[in-house]
Structure 1
Amino acid sequence: MADEEEDDYLAMSFDTAGSKQGKETSIQRTARLKKEAAERGRVPSKRELADQAKAAREAALATQLDASNKGAKMMAKMGFKGGALGKSEDARTQPIEVMLKEDRGGIGMDSEKKRKIREAAAEVEDQHKRRKVDEVEYRERTRNEREEWRAEGQMWSAMRTLEGFETGGVATGAEADDVRGHAGDASKLTETEHKPLRSINVLWRPLVKQRLEKERDRRMRYDLDQSLSRKGDYEDPDADQDDKLALGAEVEELDEEDPELEELEALSFAERLEKIIKELREEYYYCFWCKYRYPDEAMEDCPGVTEDEHG
C-alpha cells in the first residue's frame, strides 16, 4: 500500500507547451491533495454559517405548496383537495408568507423607522420649498420698500411744489426736498402757516403740520435746557408777538383730530403722489415729471401723466 502511494518519478510528464490538458504531475497532485484536506478540515466562520442558513431558509420559504409538501399532506388528511384557501373567489391559493425578523428591535420598529424617514424627507422638502418662497418674498419685499421709499421722496417734492404755487412762492420743484426735515427753517413761521391748519389744502397740509410740530419741539427743548419752564415771565427773544399768538393757537390745533388729513395719510406714498400730481396738472398746468408749467390745459408737448411715459 505504501508503495502505491509513492510518487512514480518515471511516470512524470512535463508539458513544455504550457497546456492545461496535460497529465497531472506529482507536484500538482500533492498540492491538490493538501488543498482538499485543508478544505475538509476547515471550520466555517460565523458569517459563512449565517449565509448558508439564510440561503437554506429562503429556499424553504420559496417552496410552493404542492402534494409533496408536508403541510399539504397534513391538509389533505383534513379534507383539503386543492384550490383556494377560503370560500370567497379571491381567496389565497398559497399560505401567508413567513416574514423572518432578523434584528433585535421590537415589533413595529421597522414601520416606525420608515415613518420617521418619511417625515424627515418631507421636512427637508418643506424646508427647501420655504427657502425658495422666503427668497422670492424677500426680493419682492425689498423691491416694494425701495419703490415706497422713492415714492415718498417724490411725494414730498411734489407737495412742496404745490405749496409754492398756492402761496405764490418759487414753484420749480426741481430741487429735492429733505424727506425727513421737509425743507425750510421751522424756527420762523410763514404768513401762510399762521392760518388755521384745516383751511390749508390737505394735499400739502402735512408740510405745515410738520413745521408746527418742529417748532413746538424746539421750544420745549429750549425750555427744558434752560430750566425756564417754571418761570412765568420767560419770553423767547427770537419770536415776535404775532408769532407767539399764532404759535399758541396752532400748537393747540395740532392735538385736534383731522379726519381729512388722516384719510390722506392712510393712502400709500404712491397714491398720495398721484393725487398731488393730478392737482398740479388740473389747477396749474404743471407737469411734475417735465418740471415745466404749460401755457394751457392741453399741455400738448407733455408725454403723459406717469413717470414711465416720460422715459
Structure 2
Amino acid sequence: MATNEAEEDDYLSMSFGEPAAQVKENSLQRTARLKKEAAERARPLSKKERGAKEKAARDSALATSMDSSNKGAKMMAKMGFKGGALGKSNDARTQPIEVLVKDDRGGIGLDSEKKRKLRELAEEQEGKEKKRRVGEEEFRMLNAAEREERRTAGMMWSSMRTLEEFEADGVGGSDEGGVPGEQKKVGKVARPLRSINLLYRPLVKQRLEKEKEKRARYDLDQSLSRPAAYSDPDADADDKIALDTEVEEELDEEDAELDEFEALSYAQRLEKIVGELRQKWRYCFWCKYRYASESEMEEDCPGLGEDEHG
C-alpha cells in the first residue's frame, strides 16, 4: 500500500503556471468594438477585393468534387449516371470546364488579338535579331573578301611589272639565273599598244593614260601662264611628238582582246601571268627567283601556287 502511494504523483510538489489573466472589457470598449465590426461589415468591397473573393469562392467550388449530397449529382444519378467521365471515349473530360471571367471592357476576341499581336511582335523581333546576326557575319565575310581582292590585285600588278621587265631586258634565251632588271635598258621604242604582250598590256595602257593626263594638265598650266602672242597654231605635229607634248598612241581605240582579258578576275589574271613567267622565263613569282633550268625549278620550287610556298 505504501509502495502504491509512492508511485502516485505527488501533486503537492508539482508546479502549475499562473492562469492567464482575462481582461474584461468595459462597456465603452465593447461598444467601440461592436461599432468597428459593424463598420467593417458595412464597408463596400473594392473591385479588386470582390474579384479576389469571387475567384476564391469559384476555385473552392471547382476544387470540390461532386458527391451524392450534391444536387446536380442527384439529378444525374436519376438519369443513369454512375460516375466517371462523360461520353463514350476513354479520354473524356472528368473535371468541370474552367470558368474564365472577363474583368475588363474589351471585346470577346480582344485577348486573342492581343496574343496574336504579341506573337507577331516576338517573331518580328526574333527575325530582326537573326538578320542582325546574319548581317554582321556577311559584313565580316565581305570585308575579308574585299581585303583578299585588294591583295590579289596588288600581286597582279606586281607580276605584270615583273613580266614587263623581263621582256624589256630580253634575257629570255639565256640560261643565266637572276632577277629582272639586272641588264641595262637601252631605251623605249614607240610601238602600237596592241603589239604589246596582253598579259602586261593593261599596265602599259594605265601608264599611258596617266602620262596623257599629266601632259594635259601641264599644257593647261602653260596655256594659262603663257601670253597668246607666243602660241604657234601652225606648229608641226611631228615637232610636238618630238618634244613629247602629245601622245602618239590612240588610247580610245577599241581593243576587244584587252577588254576580254580585263573582264577576268584578279586571281585569274594573276594565274595567267604567273604561268607565263614560269613557262617562258623560268621565274617563280612566289620564290622571287629565276631558275637556271626547268629541272632546277622543278626540284627546288615548292609548287605553282601561293599555298605551296607557305
The alignment status of 1:222 with 2:223, answered yes or no, reads no
- Correspondence for 1:266: 263
Task: Give the equivalent residue in structure 1 for 2:22.
Answer: 26
| Structure 1 residue 82, shift from structure 2 partner | 4.1
In structure 1, what is the equivalent of residue 56 of structure 2? 55
8 Å Cα contact 2:179-2:289 kept in structure 1: yes
Choose which of 187, 190, 214 in structure 1 pairs with 2:188.
190
**1:200 partnered with 2:200:** no
Match runs of 1:1-311 below 5 Å: 23-27=19-23, 30=25, 37=34, 40-41=37-38, 42-43=40-41, 45-46=45-46, 47-60=48-61, 81-82=80-81, 97-168=98-169, 172=179, 190-191=188-189, 194-225=190-221, 226=223, 232-233=233-234, 240-241=241-242, 247-248=247-248, 250-251=249-250, 254-298=251-295, 299=297, 300-311=299-310
Question: Per the alignment, do residues 53 and 244 of structure 1 end up closer, same or farther by CA in structure 2, a change over 3 Å counting?
Answer: closer
* Structure 1 position 144, deviation (Å): 1.3
Distance 1:231 1:99, change over 3 A: farther
Worse-matched range after superposition: 66-75 or 101-110: 66-75
Structure 1: any 5+ residue segments left out of the alignment?
A: 1-16, 175-188
Report the alpha carbon displacement of residue 26 of structure 1 after superposing the two structures with TM.
2.4
How far residue 89 of structure 1 moved from its aligned partner, in angstroms, is: 9.2
Q: 1:285·1:297 contact (CA, 8 Å) conserved in 2?
A: yes
- State the shift of 1:256 in Å: 2.5
Asked if the contact 1:303–1:310 (Cα under 8 Å) also holds between the matched residues in 2, the reply is yes
Q: In terms of mean alpha carbon deviation, does 291-300 or 263-272 score higher?
A: 263-272
User: Structure 1 vs Structure 2: percent identity of aligned residues?
Assistant: 55
For 1:302 and 1:88, the matched residues in 2 are separated by 83
Structure 1 residue 215, shift from structure 2 partner: 2.5
Matched with 1:181 is none
Superposed displacement of residue 81, structure 1: 4.5
Gaps of 5+ in 2: 1-14, 172-177, 182-186
Task: Sort the Cα spacing of 1:210 and 1:162 in 2 relative to 1 into closer, same or farther, 3 A.
Answer: same
Q: Distance in 2 between matches of 1:82 and 1:100?
A: 29
For the Cα contact (< 8 Å) 1:173–1:291, is it kept in 2? no
**Residues 42-74 of structure 1, C-alpha deviation per residue, up to 9 Å, x if partnerless?**
246524443222212333455667776666778
> Distance in 2 between the 1:218 and 1:233 partners?
23
With the length of structure 2 as denominator, give the TM-score of the two structures: 0.69
Q: Secondary structure at the match of 2:253?
A: coil
1:138 CA displacement: 1.7
In structure 2, how many angstroms separate the alpha carbons of the residues matched to 1:224 and 1:76? 114
Give the distance between the partners of 1:55 and 1:116, measured in 2 at CA.
31
Question: What secondary structure, in the 3-state scheme, does the structure 2 residue paired with 1:26 have?
Answer: coil
**2: distance between equivalents of 1:52 and 1:66?**
25
In structure 2, relative to structure 1, the CA distance for the partners of 1:199 and 1:239 (3 Å cut) is same
Deviation at 1:281, TM superposition (A): 0.4
Instruction: Give, in whole Å, the separation in 2 of the partners of 1:110 and 1:208.
Output: 74
Residue type at the aligned position of 1:269: Y
Determine the C-alpha separation between the residues in 2 that align with 1:59 and 1:105: 27
Query: In structure 2, what is the Cα distance between the partners aligned to 1:95 and 1:70?
Result: 15
Is the alpha carbon distance of 1:69 and 1:147 closer, same or farther for their aligned partners in structure 2, counting shifts above 3 Å? same
Letter in 2 for 1:282: Q
Q: 1:187-206 CA distances to partner (integer Å, 9 max, x unpaired)?
A: xx932xx2222221111000
Amino acid of the residue matched to residue 209 of structure 2?
A: E
Report the Cα distance in structure 1 between the residues aligned to 2:16 and 2:244, rounded to whole angstroms.
125
With structure 1 as the length reference, what TM-score do the two structures score? Answer: 0.69
Superposed CA deviations along residues 56-103 of structure 1, whole A, max 9, x for unmatched, are 2333455667776666778899xx554887899988777755421112
Distance 1:153 1:222, change over 3 A: same
CA contact (8 A) 1:65 1:94 kept: no
Maintained 8 Å contact 1:157/1:173: no
Moved more, 126-135 or 145-154: 126-135
C-alpha displacement of 1:216: 2.4
Deviation of 1:167 (Å): 1.7
- Structure-2 separation of matches of 1:309 and 1:260: 32
Contact persistence 1:161–1:173 (CA under 8 A): yes
State the Cα distance separating 1:238 from its structure 2 match.
Answer: 9.6
